[in-house]
Structure 1
Amino acid sequence: MNFKSIKWRLQAWHGFLLVALVAGLMIGFYSFERRARLQSIDKALQEVMTSLLPKLSPAGNGRHNGPGDSRGFRRPPPPEFGGDIPEQAPGGFRARAVDGVDLGKFYYASWSPEGRVVSISTNAPPNLLPDERSIANTPGMIRTAGINRELTHHVPNGFRVIAGTSLAPMVAQLRQLALWLVVIGSSIVIVGSTIGWWLASQALRPIEAISRTAEEIARGDLSKRINSSETESELGQLALVLNSTFARLDAAFEHQKQFTYDAAHELRTPVSVILTQTQSTLNKERSPAEYRETLEACQRAAQRMRRLIESLLELARLDAGQETMKRVRFDLADATRECVEMVRPLADERRIVIRLELSPAGCHGDPERVAQVVLNLLTNAVQHNNDNGAIVVSTNPNNGFSTLIVSDSGPGIAPEHLPHLFKRFYRADGARTSSQGRSGLGLAISSAIIHAHGGSIEVNSNVGDGSQFTVRLPLA
């Protein structure tokens, strides 16, 4: 199990955030509940104090007549407040219940200004002392003494009264609440982490598919593709892009294999001619004329091999962007006119008429390379034309491009061959043949040269109506 994977990192962050959030909520809820219970207890203590003050505080004249003197009380103290109590505690008397005070929940005590205990309930904790922070004319001071919650009231004439209650029941309830909160929070974290793991697995499934497909492609199976149904998500779009890349890679390898096969096939023919001629010559004595004829055949085969190798090298340099291209301004019409004069003798042999419709069309590029393209198109138009046919050559500026159009009156090209016409070594019956020692690379080289200039080349043809090649180059 790879703990450094993206899934584990996402799960770790998700778990950390989930634990922090749940812990924050649980602590917040616990604190709120504790505060609410304390406020409820404080309110109850205030109510108890309200009940105690009229009974445990002296009269409002502000005088106190000394220990044991009851003249300062609003009314004569009942037995539970005075010396009639048989049970005596250190520092004062133990009193029984006061009306309105539940001694099962609350306790109380009061002190004189001299610090003598005036009255104290039987359930009060030992060593009970008033809160020294309390001052006169204050409504009361709340304190937590150990496990008890106490309210101290300081009346104007010096008497102090305490009402208190034990926090043990509240603590027990809060402990039970904390236990339940831990159980609930742990359950939320476990369920949330499980859901997060499932969501992370679902979200990263395309990445796993991409990884598996890439491994299979690396092993040589270029036909593999990523199966992705979520084309709208980011990973789905990435899968589509990678599938397109893999398809182009597969096509490139297939093209390379086909190119290698075609190149080997083209080279095999002249090599076979050379071997056959030399073996036949070496098998028996020949006359000087026969030797000469054999050598000339070998020379022609070698020249064909050289042209093929040069074409292949040129294509390789063009593909790699290593072919040096001049960048000068020239007139496409002038370059075309020179090329026409070079092929006119070939056209005259077959009584083909070349008609020129040349308008000035300035270009920016390599005039020699462009002339190579024009010469190739004109040669094809002558070779694949009918006797007594015609060729129309035109140049003109059009929509930001200098345009060259070469049309012939030949037999035309079938529609199924048109998309493949600029592929290397491709030949179509009736349009491109291997006769006259042609390698089938001319249009491929022309297309590479034009595209290196930022232009385009295309063909339109109908069987029986001839063909038309159109070259567009950016205007100078």
Structure 2
Amino acid sequence: MNFVAIIFLLMVIVLAFFIAMLFLVNHFQLLTPERDGHLFPLYFIIFLSLVIGAALSIFVGKRILQPIGDLRQAMSQVAKGDFTIQLSEEKQMEDVEELYHDFNLMVKELGSIETLRNDFVSTVSHEFKTPIATIKGYVQLLQNEALSPAERGEYLERMLEGTQQLTHLTDNILKLSKLENQGLGLDFQGFRLDEQIREVILFLQPKWEQLNLSLDLDLPRTEFYGNEEFLYQVWLNLMDNAIKYSQKNSSIHVHLQNTESEQIITLSDEGIGMTPEITERIFDKFYQSDTSRKTKGNGLGLALAKQIVELHQGRIEVKSSPDQGSKFKIYLPNNLKNS
């Protein structure tokens, strides 16, 4: 619109100028053959027309066509995979400035997506590579006929652990993909929330008994409307993490609070805790605070839990300090059935 307005205004000015020139020529009879140099005004008008036309062409070329050409070249670079290119937004017409701003923003977003994709591929490749290499190594060892039955059984057990790790990783990736693609198309139904949490605790009993952990449970009877399958995964991931990072002979606290508008589930441990930097990134996909990978896991559990809670229109919060344990709070609204 600015471009059209400018061209229209220039045309009006030029038209008014030529009308004024023709009026002067006619008024003073400058083009009469009887007058000496009567063709000079005509030559002057032609010359002035050329100057004005050239000025308009330069203006349009520099202010409108050149920015479009620069944008075309920049888009060609982006098409080749260069997401670092940025266009200067200064000293441009308002519409061109907005166009450049949107282009720069798009390139930044594409660069971020490309970085995430590369990180995802790199991390998944690393996660798959470790158990596969382990399984391959024990397969080679099993080819030794001199192995004792005890050694053979130990190697088979290690191979089984590797396959379970691969299964757990693929399951989590598939669940995240399902959540991201299906979104709010999850199947909601009524179930006992307190019983579900107890089932998870019983399922993980071998793990917390091995560390001699004591459990402080406060789970009043609670009817809830949501996706039973995925919420089970939330409690499983949170409880498994609490056990994994707890000290021997410590305690885990699981409380369920019923309110009129929501259910509040609090799960806290007395484990190693986390720094503020780790706490900020704990829900990122594939993020692991233990870069040495001494602890089992693939950095998907908490990301999966957060996404499930958000699909139930809830939220999850965490508070933690090093050597002081961690406390997770999950808020689930009660009005999902009517939403």
TM-score computed with the length of structure 1 as normaliser: 0.58
Q: Describe how 1:15-30 pairs up with structure 2 within 5 A.
A: 18=10, 22-23=14-15, 25-27=17-19, 30=22
- Mapped pair 1:197 → 2:58: yes
Q: Which residue of 315, 318, 328 corresponds with 1:459?
A: 318
Specify whether residues 415 and 173 from structure 1 end up closer, same or farther in structure 2 by C-alpha distance, changes over 3 A only: farther
Q: Helix, strand or coil for the counterpart of 1:354? A: strand
Asked whether the 8 Å contact 1:353–1:389 carries over to 2, the reply is: yes
Q: Evaluate the alpha carbon distance shift between residue 22 and residue 434 of structure 1 in structure 2; reply closer, same or farther with a 3 A threshold.
A: same
Establish whether residue 319 from structure 1 lines up as the match of residue 180 from structure 2: yes
Does 1:415 find its partner at 2:280?
no
Q: What's the CA shift for 1:361? A: 7.4
- AA in 2 matched with 1:321: Q
Q: Which residue of the other structure, out of 63, 85, 89, is the alignment partner of 1:228?
A: 89
Q: Contact 1:352–1:389 (CA<8 Å) still a contact in 2? A: yes
The one-letter amino acid of 1:26's match is F
Higher relative contact order (CA 8 A, sep 6+): 2
Alignment of 1:148-227 (within 5 A): 171=32, 180=41, 183-184=44-45, 186-187=47-48, 190-191=51-52, 193-195=54-56, 197-198=58-59, 201-203=62-64, 206-227=67-88
User: Structure 1 residue aligned with 2:208, among 347, 352, 359?
Assistant: 347
Q: Which structure 2 residues correspond to residues 31-42 of structure 1 after superposition, within 5 A?
A: 34=26
Once the two structures are superposed, residues 364-408 of structure 1 have per-residue CA deviations (whole angstroms, 9 ceiling, x without a partner) of 531220121122111111221222323333444779654433222
- Relative distance call for 1:407 and 1:313 in structure 2 (3 A) is same
Q: Give the superposition deviation at 1:321.
A: 3.4
Say whether 1:278 aligns with 2:139. Answer: yes
Q: How far has the Cα of 1:265 moved from its partner?
A: 1.8
- What per-residue deviation string (whole Å, max 9, x for no partner) do you get for residues 101-127 of structure 1? xxxxxxxxxxxxxxxxxxxxxxxxxxx
| CA pair 357-248 structure 1, distance change in 2 beyond 3 A | farther
Match of 1:375 in 2: 236
- Alpha carbons 1:332, 1:402 under 8 Å: kept: no
Pairwise CA distance, 1:255: 2.1
Q: How many pairs align?
A: 335
User: Offset of 1:193 from its aligned partner?
Assistant: 4.6
Determine if contact 1:357/1:393 at 8 Å carries over to the other structure. yes
Q: TM-score, normalised by structure 2?
A: 0.77
Structure 1 equivalent of residue 327 of structure 2:
468
How far residue 360 of structure 1 moved from its aligned partner, in angstroms, is 7.7
Which range is displaced more, 271-280 or 394-403?
394-403
Alignment check: 8 A CA contact 1:226 1:239 kept? yes
Question: Partner residue of 1:111?
Answer: none
**Counterpart-to-counterpart distance in 2, 1:33 and 1:198:** 29
* 1:52-451 matches, cutoff 5 A: 171=32, 180=41, 183-184=44-45, 186-187=47-48, 190-191=51-52, 193-195=54-56, 197-198=58-59, 201-203=62-64, 206-229=67-90, 233-321=94-182, 325-329=186-190, 332-333=193-194, 335-343=196-204, 346-358=207-219, 364-396=225-257, 402-429=263-290, 433-435=293-295, 437-451=296-310
Change (3 A) 1:408 1:182: farther
Give yes or no for contact 2:319–2:328 (8 Å, CA) kept in 1: yes
The structure with the larger Rg is 1
- SS state at 1:378 partner: helix
Deviation readout 1:451-470 (Å, 9 max, x if unpaired): 34444334322212221223
Q: More helix per residue: 1 or 2?
A: 2
Do 1:418 and 1:459's aligned partners in 2 also have CA atoms closer than 8 Å?
yes
Identity across the alignment (%): 25
Letter in 1 for 2:55: T
State how far apart, in whole Å, the 1-side matches of 2:92 and 2:30 are: 61
1:212 CA drift (Å): 2.9
CA–CA separation in structure 2 for the residues paired with 1:400 and 1:227 = 51
Alpha-carbon distance between aligned partners in 2 of 1:392 and 1:175, rounded to the nearest angstrom: 110
CA contact (8 A) 1:358 1:394 kept: yes
Q: CA RMSD in A?
A: 4.2
Is this contact kept in 2: 1:18–1:189, CA < 8 A? no
